[in-house]
């Protein structure tokens, strides 16, 4: 396990220096403040701050919990057991933190405010991901977005209440469950970070957030699209990227309701990402009366997929869905076409990449992928970020960089607003009902603190990726939409006793 601490110390309105030993990055040029050195706080958040301030260790703030009418925007005909009224539906009511953390005073004599990052940066042998690790490129991009957010915050004055800079503490996620948990312990107790962003691999993320629960520290996820990540009822966990559930619903709607696909086949990576990524494709097909005809798995990094493709061909699949890394997806598509298989090809968001296009060549034309945002948006927020990222790193920002930037920006905002108290940092994120106006679009946190904002389909057309929303595709989210998913928080300065004392 390699562990490094990177200190991002910028002069208050001056230049942001380079991070020593960061993975293959250029020295930081002079940074110009992205915004005025002040934090805007809405009346809603002001009410939350009043409610969580001045509490004793035995008091719980009097804050209204978010309650969703329908979990994850699931259409009625795609809900499990939708023909009957279930005895209980999970993940509709927001998890509440009733601990003593809000009474912990701010520490004194700090030189920096430490923020944590954990992600795959250096190659290792990975048990969880099925052999050698393979997500370092994604982790590096996520790190770059995180780094840029911190540098810009320091250029605006750092932690404004103390006028001290933010510091980034970085851990490599090497794919071993015990090690990822150890890194969270190290960051929470030894490094004493105030919040952590990470990671990408689903198995490691699940272990990390369980340790974060015990350490009582916020973990913001910007790279793990596993739908079950947020289904742990851990009140310290947030996610700022649309997950495979949201993307699968849109992809399944497009296949079945627009293209009239009746016999889809699946080929996926034999790891957690592939296994959990296709679950809602399978469920959606079965619930609309068009079950997947065959699901085939392959070892990550395979070169020959003829066995899996031949069986899908024999099963009579009229469309192929791939869930796995870009390189594997491109090789599968190339071999499909060489075998004379002309079925439409659908894939996950990882296949929207230069590597996929390079390997697939002309076969990439017409491929449709699920995608968590529209990088071609022309609003000032998106364009400004892309320009600053390009200037800082000399390359284009992709999805892991953009979501890493948004995730760390949300954490930094929470620290600025709530102060140096982990429970209060968690509170201002958890009770925020207004969408976060991010680089990737509006980030809307559900009652489970999962991003349920818009997702898109990316289609390769005339040598470029074109992005389509539900509205552009003419696919309504639900013919009979439920009421608004979150009721505005009604907060007062009153406090109440924990459940056991009521």
Buried b (16+ CB within 10 A) or exposed e, 243-271: bbbbbbbbbbbbbbeeeebbbbbbbbbeb
User: Is 189 a member of any domain?
Assistant: yes
Domain boundary among 412, 431, 453: 453
Q: Is the pLDDT of residue 454 over 60?
A: yes
**Cα–Cα distance measured from residue 75 to residue 309, given in angstroms and rounded to the nearest whole number:** 32
Query: CB-based burial of residue 382 (10 Å sphere; 0-12 exposed, 13-18 middle, 19+ buried)?
Result: buried
What is the model's pLDDT at position 76?
86
Q: Is the confidence at residue 477, as pLDDT, over 90?
A: no
Residue 364 shares a structural domain with residue 390: no
Do residues 350 and 407 share a domain?
A: no
Q: What is the CATH number of the domain that holds 347?
A: 3.40.50.2300
233 lies in the same domain as 121? yes
Question: 418 near 428, Cβ under 8 Å?
Answer: yes
Nearest to 215 by CA among 228, 196, 200: 196
Between residues 177 and 341, which one has the greater pLDDT?
Answer: 341
Q: Looking at residues 164-178, what average pLDDT do you find? A: 87
Can you tell me the distance from the alpha carbon of 271 to that of 132, in angstroms, rounded to the nearest whole number?
Answer: 12
pLDDT at 23 over 50: no
Structural domain contains residue 76: no
Cα separation values, 258 from 106, 284, 288, 316, Å: 55, 14, 13, 20
Look at residue 6 in the predicted model and tell me its pLDDT.
40
DSSP 463-482: TEEEEE-HHHHT--S-SSPP
DSSP state of 77: G
| 73 confidence band (pLDDT: 50, 70, 90) | confident
Structure tokens at 464: 């470029």
Residue 342, token pair as written in the block = 């002309």
What is the extent of the structural domain holding 354? Answer: 245-371
* 422 shares a domain with 359: no
Alpha helices (H) along 236-344: 244-253, 272-277, 279-287, 306-314, 326-338
Mean pLDDT over the full length of the chain? 88
Kindly state whether residue 302 falls inside one of the protein's structural domains: yes
pLDDT at 456 over 70: yes
Q: Verify that 257 and 405 share a domain, yes or no.
A: no
Provide the CB-side half-sphere exposure for 364 (13 A, CA). Answer: 27
123 with 173: CB under 8 angstroms? no
**Listed residue (63, 45, 192) closest to 495, CA to CA:** 63
Q: How confident is the model at residue 132 (pLDDT cuts 50, 70, 90)?
A: low
Residue 85 confidence (pLDDT): 84
Cα atoms in the 13 Å half-sphere on the side-chain side of 255: 33
pLDDT (tens digit per residue) in 29-43: 433 333 333 587 999
Instruction: Read off the pLDDT of residues 74-91 as tens digits, 9 standing for 90 and up.
Output: 988 888 887 888 888 889
Summarize pLDDT for 240-268 with one digit per residue, the tens. 999 999 999 999 999 999 999 999 999 99
**CB 12, CB 157: distance < 8 Å:** yes
User: How many Å is the Cα radius of gyration of the chain?
Assistant: 23
How many independent structural domains does the chain possess? Answer: 2
232 within domain boundaries = yes
Domain presence at residue 79: no
Please indicate, yes or no, whether residues 162 and 233 belong to a single structural domain of this protein.
yes
The verdict on 441 and 334 lying in the same domain is: no
Please report the pLDDT score of residue 487 as a whole number: 46
Residues 6+ apart with CB under 8 A from 264: 255, 281, 285, 290, 292, 293, 317, 318, 319, 320, 321
Residue 484 in this model has a pLDDT that exceeds 80: no
Digit-coded pLDDT (tens) for 399-450: 999 999 999 999 999 999 999 999 999 999 999 999 999 999 999 999 999 9
Q: Do 112 and 223 fall within a single domain?
A: yes
DSSP state of 222: S
Residue 80: per-residue pLDDT: 85
Looking at 77-91, 157-171, 325-339, which range is the least confident one? 77-91
Kindly state whether residues 203 and 352 are assigned to the same domain: no
The residue from 343, 371, 399 where one domain ends is 371
**How far apart are the C-alpha atoms of 130 and 132, rounded to whole Å?**
7
Specify if 409 maps to a domain: yes
CB-based contacts of 256, cutoff 8 Å, min separation 6: 262, 284, 285, 288, 290
Lowest mean pLDDT among 68-72, 163-167, 286-290, 371-375: 68-72
Q: Which two tokens stand for residue 369?
A: 């992928």
421 occurs within a structural domain: yes
342 and 197 share one domain: no
Phi/psi region, residue 372 (left: phi>0; alpha: psi -120 to 50; beta: rest), is: alpha
pLDDT bracket for residue 134 (50, 70, 90): confident
Q: Could you give the percent of the chain with pLDDT greater than 90? A: 77
Is the pLDDT assigned to residue 329 strictly greater than 60?
Answer: yes
Looking at the structure, do residues 106 and 190 belong to the same domain, yes or no?
yes
My answer on whether 361 and 402 are in the same domain is: no
């Amino acid at each position: 396990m390699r562990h490094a601490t990177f200190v991002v110390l910028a002069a208050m309105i001056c230049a942001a220096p380079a991070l020593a030993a960061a993975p293959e990055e250029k020295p930081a040029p002079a940074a110009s403040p992205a915004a005025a050195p002040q934090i805007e706080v809405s009346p809603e958040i002001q009410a939350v701050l009043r409610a969580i301030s001045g509490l004793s260790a035995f008091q719980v703030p009097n804050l209204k919990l978010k309650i969703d009418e329908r979990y994850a925007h699931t259409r009625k005909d795609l809900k499990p057991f939708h023909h009957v009224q279930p005895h209980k539906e999970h993940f509709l009511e927001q998890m509440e933190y009733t601990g003593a953390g809000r009474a912990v005073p701010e520490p004194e004599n700090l030189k920096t405010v430490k923020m944590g990052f954990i992600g795959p940066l250096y190659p290792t042998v990975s048990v969880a991901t099925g052999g050698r690790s393979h997500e370092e490129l994604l982790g590096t991009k996520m790190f770059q977005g995180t780094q840029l957010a911190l540098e810009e915050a320091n250029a605006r004055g750092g932690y404004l209440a103390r006028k001290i800079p933010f510091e980034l503490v970085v851990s490599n996620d090497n794919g071993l469950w015990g090690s990822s948990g150890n890194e969270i312990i190290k960051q929470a107790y030894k490094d004493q970070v105030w919040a952590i962003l990470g990671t990408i691999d689903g198995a490691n993320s699940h272990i990390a957030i369980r340790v974060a629960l015990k350490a009582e520290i916020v973990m913001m996820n910007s790279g793990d699209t596993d739908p079950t990540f947020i289904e742990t009822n851990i009140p310290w966990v947030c996610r700022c990227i649309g997950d495979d559930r949201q993307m699968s619903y849109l992809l399944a709607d497009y296949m079945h309701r627009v293209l009239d696909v009746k016999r889809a086949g699946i080929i996926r990576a034999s790891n957690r990402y592939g296994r959990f990524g296709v679950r809602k494709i399978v469920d959606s097909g079965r619930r609309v009366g068009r079950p997947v005809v065959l699901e085939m798995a392959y070892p990550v990094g395979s070169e020959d997929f003829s066995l899996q493709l031949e069986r899908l061909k024999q099963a009579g699949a009229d469309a192929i869905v791939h869930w796995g890394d870009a390189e594997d997806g491109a090789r599968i598509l190339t071999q499909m076409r060489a075998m004379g298989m002309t079925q439409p090809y659908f894939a996950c968001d990882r296949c929207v990449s230069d590597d996929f296009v390079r390997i697939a060549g002309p076969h990439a034309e017409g491929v449709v992928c699920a995608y968590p945002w529209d990088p071609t948006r022309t609003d000032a927020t998106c364009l400004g970020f892309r320009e600053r990222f390009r200037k800082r790193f000399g390359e284009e920002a992709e999805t892991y960089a953009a979501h890493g930037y948004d995730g760390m920006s949300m954490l930094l905002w929470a620290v600025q607003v709530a102060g140096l108290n982990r429970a209060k940092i968690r509170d201002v994120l958890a009770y925020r009902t207004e969408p976060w106006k991010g680089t990737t679009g509006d980030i809307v946190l559900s009652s489970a603190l999962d991003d349920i904002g818009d997702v898109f389909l990316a289609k390769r057309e005339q040598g470029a990726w074109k992005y389509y929303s539900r509205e552009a595709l003419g696919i309504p989210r639900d013919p009979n939409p439920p009421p608004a998913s979150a009721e505005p928080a009604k907060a007062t300065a009153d406090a109440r006793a924990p459940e056991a004392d009521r």
